[in-house]
Structure 1
Amino acid sequence: MQTRKEKLIEFVKSIRDAVHDEWVRFEFSHLRIARLIVYSMCLVVVVSICFYLFRYFNLFHTDVNSARYMLSALVQSQAAIVAIVITLTLIAVQLTASAYSPRVIDIFKKNPDMWILLGCYGVSIFYGFIVLKRVVGADGDVVSQSAIWSIGPISISFEFYVSLAYWLGAFTFVVLFPYLLNIVGLLKPENVIKRLAIEITKDKILNSKEDPVQPIMDIIHASIMKYDLETTRIGLKTVTVQVPEIIFADDEKKISRYFCDHLTRVGRVAISREDEESTLVVIENFKNFAKSTAEKGLKTATMLAARSLGKVGKAAAGKGLEHATTVAAWSLGEVRKAATEKELEDATNQAVFSLGEVGKAAAENGLEDATMQAVSSLGWAGKATAEKELEDATKLAAMSLGKVGEAAAEKELEDATKLAAMSLGDVGEAAAENGLGVATREAAKSLGRVGKGAAGKGLEHATKRAARSLAELTILSEELVKAVIQDYELKEEQDQVSFQKFIKIYEQELKELRAKKN
């Protein structure tokens, strides 16, 4: 059990974390006010401490010459320090802009810290000049203690003005710490991206001549070129989280296309450099965006995201990035699932179509694991849409499975071809049980294509699996399957040997099934 002390420490930590999080949120939403509060607090604390120390050590007695020398040295040192600090700041801005994007300069320009610091130093320096000008007296004299201004019972002497110049000098040195901390923080791409993300609003995307997302995309492109995966991940995640928040039904097409185009370009850059990790980040963000728009019931946005994700997956397959292609196929399956659950039929169809494109590209490039993932996702899609009685989507799933299976057979990917045949059987069975005649017919046609392709390449196990699936489908919808086979026999002019070989195995499987049934 926790001791009382441990509980107290934990409670204090939770309070501290809560205050910190609240302050960070406030600072991002009210930057100028937040920074003014920080510098004002520094001023109050420094002046209060200096006043207490001067009183405690009885320092309100200054020689005229000492005052002149001190004020002169203070003003000169302040001028030198502010010149060095501003120069270093501009160098830092230049380096950051050259490393990522010239648009980053706007962040530093809008950052209030530099202007507040210049104001603090300007006020302190000119105040020091004025006080220095007013210091009068011969050598050895003491600065006047006589009251020159009164507010009720409070009397202020010239000595106080001299002391205040020292205190302001101390303040200008102290504020260098929060200033430098802020500037160093801004040099981190993560903080620059967060500041830029504030500019991503619906009005700016729809009406502004300047693209509010482009500065972040510039940083992401630069990060990919330098293989800076963390910055790439942060940038994409920030945009992906921000954009769905501003999409609504009346403008979803324009904003979602705008976002998808940006993300697709990033994906193409990553793929062209064969940077699989960055490609995976792009795919993950497409998936997250599509799922979030599906949850909001945004059909067009989800459809566009699924289409773009398919393009990225297909391009990854073309470059032989098998893991990225596999993840793209799995992600499309997740998007399809979200769209189906929300009854977004067009988005479901697009996700299924994109799955087919990715699977076919994977098979054509000999990526068996990716092909099998696409086939598996298509199989689940076909069964789920059949249960929902979405005939177009079920038909599309069956057609896509046929194309992927054919491509897999052509590349002699027997396991993938066998899985395609098995999945087609499941989809056809689900379609038949739910009375989806068109989809059932498409499943039978696709099984014929896959079986013929497998037989032509001598893939015995895959051929037998396709024949078995077609035989099982025949038991459920015999007239429909027989009609499909007759169409094949009439239309097929090429590969008749392969087709007849497949049909022979099919007839054997059908005979066995009927024997077992009887």
Structure 2
Amino acid sequence: TLSLVAVQLAAQSYSARVIDVYKNNPDMWILLSIYIVVIFYGLGLLKVIDIGVAGINMELAIFAVYFLGFFAFVCLIPYILKTLDLLKPSVLIKISAEKITKDNVLKALNDYEIVDEIDPVQPIIDIINSALGKNDYETIRNGLKVITNSTISILEEAHFESGEEDKFARYIIDAIQNIAIFAIKKENENSTLSVVINLGTIGIKAIKQELETATQETAKALGNVGTKAAEQKQEAAAREAVKTLGNIGAEAIVQELKTATREAAKALGNVGTKAAEQKQEVTMQEAAKALGNIGTEAIVQNDPYSAEEAAKALESIGTKAAENEPEYIANETVEELKKIGEKAAEQKVKEVADQAVRALKNVGRKSVNQELQWLAVQTVEALGNVGIKAAEQELKGVPFSALLALEIIGKKAVEKEFEWLAVETAIELGKVGTKAAEKGFDRLVREAKRILNELCKKFKEKKWNYVEILKALQSIDFAEE
């Protein structure tokens, strides 16, 4: 009766799958065996007590019945204590975790007909989800810790055949991600933070084992969780996701896990963009800094595709920030794009430098449209710096793109009657044109002069002071001589 009540309570509180824990508990079967022996021994003795049986000492036999009965009752004490322990979620989680092995997980994934019966992770997930409904943070934390530790042990010790890593990583990480999504819906930010931390632990271990798929899936999950947390205004969880993604991206670069690095950059862009939309300034800034670090380090490590992804992510954050944030916050993305562009030009990685210029152009154009003149000025200066650095390294296409970007922003500035911005654009055009003249890039020089002359006409129409334009043109002429 005690066993059945305990099973019923556990099944109602956590999951019907914990019935297997009680069914496989040897204590119950040992106690049942003791009672069967005692009962049948007693019944047999009652049958022969009047007639007696040769060779049996009845007094000793009756004493044995009393002793066995007493022993059976005494056995109830440790059994009750053990059964009460089994009602604790931590004990159920620990026992269930013993079944989490690579072979058991893959078997469950490959056997679609009975997957629910043999899935070793699902009982723990059910316990965690039940605890989320009750805000039982300790059980949630214990469950996540057990899944994480089991996963890390498998990643460290198991040998994966072709395709097995993909299946295993996707299933485990998706399961953990779903816990976070449920926690976010329940507005349980502490639990969401725990999920992020545990995902980060798995991601770092996967990087050390050079398991690219596992790292990639972890980064994707962290991006989804961070984005959802930012959307639901759980900024602490979103910020932790950004921090964790930054660490994963940095470690993945060192281990040359290029696909995982790009996924981390993309995920950071998604979280940062959502944070900008929700006006979560700290999260957005940290995402921009992490992307800047990933982008510059990827260039050094000869991974241009990851650097391009970082620049695209920064562009997304910057344009969204220009729509929703104070311009001094959005400036962080401009600074990081400038770093990536300058580093790319320095290392002569033309594709990345071009991407940085395109991103800066779009952020600058959005800034002007939103009438954020100070941010637009910062963007113009960044374009000038990247263009000059590219000209120094003789990446002809990049300074040309920078000139065209400056032309677009300059024309927009005149349309909006932002005289300060238009003057700063002319100054940067002069700097890029001068450097082009020093390097003997005639086509670039002609382009710079053309843009400056057109700006000068517009300044005259607006009756603005065009002294800076004349200075820029003179500087270019002097450099040509």
Question: Which of the five TM-score ranges fits, normalised by the shorter chain?
Answer: 0.7 to 0.9
Distance in 1, matches of 2:205 and 2:46, equals 65
Partner Cα separation in structure 2 for residue 259 and residue 495 of structure 1: 51
What is the DSSP-based 3-state SS (H/G/I as helix, E as strand, rest coil) of the residue aligned with 1:477? helix
Equivalent in the alignment of 2:475: none
2:99 aligned partner: 199
State the alpha-carbon separation in 2 of the partners of residues 408 and 296 from structure 1.
Answer: 37
CA distance in structure 1 between the partners assigned to 2:419 and 2:208 by the alignment? 48
User: SS of the counterpart of 2:238?
Assistant: helix
Other structure's SS at 2:187 match? coil
Equivalent residues of 1:467, 1:503 under 8 A apart? no
Greater CA drift, 448-457 or 315-324: 448-457
2:326 and 2:24 map into 1 onto residues whose CA distance is: 58
Shift of 1:261: 2.2
Structure with larger Rg: 1
Aligned AA (1:505): E
Name the Cα RMSD after superposition.
Answer: 3.0
Identity %: 36
How many residue pairs match? The answer is 416
Match runs of 1:339-358 below 5 Å: 339-358=252-271
Aligned partner letter, 1:241: N
Q: Does 1:371 align with 2:371?
A: no
1:484 aligns with 2:401: yes
> Contact 2:249–2:294 (CA<8 Å) still a contact in 1?
yes
Gaps of 5+ in 1: 1-86, 138-143, 150-156
| 1:232-311 correspondence runs (5 A) | 232-247=140-155, 248=160, 250=162, 251-311=164-224
Q: Deviations over 1:412-443 (max 9, x none)?
A: 33343111111112222222222211111212
The secondary structure found in structure 1 opposite 2:106 is helix
Change (3 A) 1:492 1:414: closer
CA distance in 1, matches of 2:428, 2:347: 24
Task: Determine helix, strand or coil for the equivalent of 1:246.
Answer: helix
Q: 1:377, CA displacement in angstroms? A: 1.0
1:503/1:393 Cα in 2 relative to 1: closer, same or farther (>3 Å)? farther
Alignment of 1:445-456 (within 5 A): 445-456=358-369
1:180 aligns with 2:80: yes
Any conservation in 2 of the 1:452–1:502 contact (CA below 8 Å)? Answer: no
Report matched runs for 1:12-31 at 5 Å.
none
Shift of 1:253: 0.8
Match of 2:5 in 1: 91
CA deviation after TM superposition for structure 1 residue 490, in Å: 7.8
Gaps (5+ residues) in structure 2?
A: 109-113, 435-470, 472-478
CA distance in 2, matches of 1:415, 1:93: 60
1:230 aligns with one of 135, 138, 157? 138
Query: Does 2:362 correspond to 1:462?
Result: no
Note if contact 2:18-2:92 (Cα within 8 Å) is conserved in structure 1: yes
Deviations 1:283-337 (A, max 9, x none): 1222122222111111112112211211111111221211111111111111112
8 A contact 2:223–2:267 mirrored in 1: yes
Compared CA separation, residues 466 and 273, structure 1 to 2 (3 A): same
CA distance in 2, matches of 1:449, 1:343: 30
Superposition deviation, residue 495 in structure 1 = 5.2
The structure 2 residue matched to 1:166, chosen from 66, 69, 93, is 66
Query: CA offset at residue 97 of structure 1?
Result: 0.8
Matched, 1:214 2:114: no
Q: CA deviation at 1:397?
A: 0.9
- The aligned amino acid for 2:75 is V
- Aligned partners of 1:270 and 1:278 also within 8 Å: yes
Q: What CA deviation, in whole Å up to 9, does each residue of 1:346-372 have, x standing for no partner?
A: 111111111111111111122112111
Q: Deviations over 1:64-121 (max 9, x none)?
A: xxxxxxxxxxxxxxxxxxxxxxx23312211211111111111111111111111112
Q: How does 1:343-422 map to 2 (within 5 A)?
A: 343-422=256-335
**SS of equivalent residue, structure 1 residue 320:** coil
Contact 2:288 2:333 in 1 (8 A): yes
TM-score (norm 2): 0.78
User: Post-superposition shift, 1:135?
Assistant: 4.7
- CA–CA distance in 1 between the matches of 2:365 and 2:409? 11
CA shift for structure 1 position 492: 8.2
Task: State whether residues 383 and 406 of structure 2, in contact with CA within 8 Å, keep that contact through their aligned partners in structure 1.
Answer: no
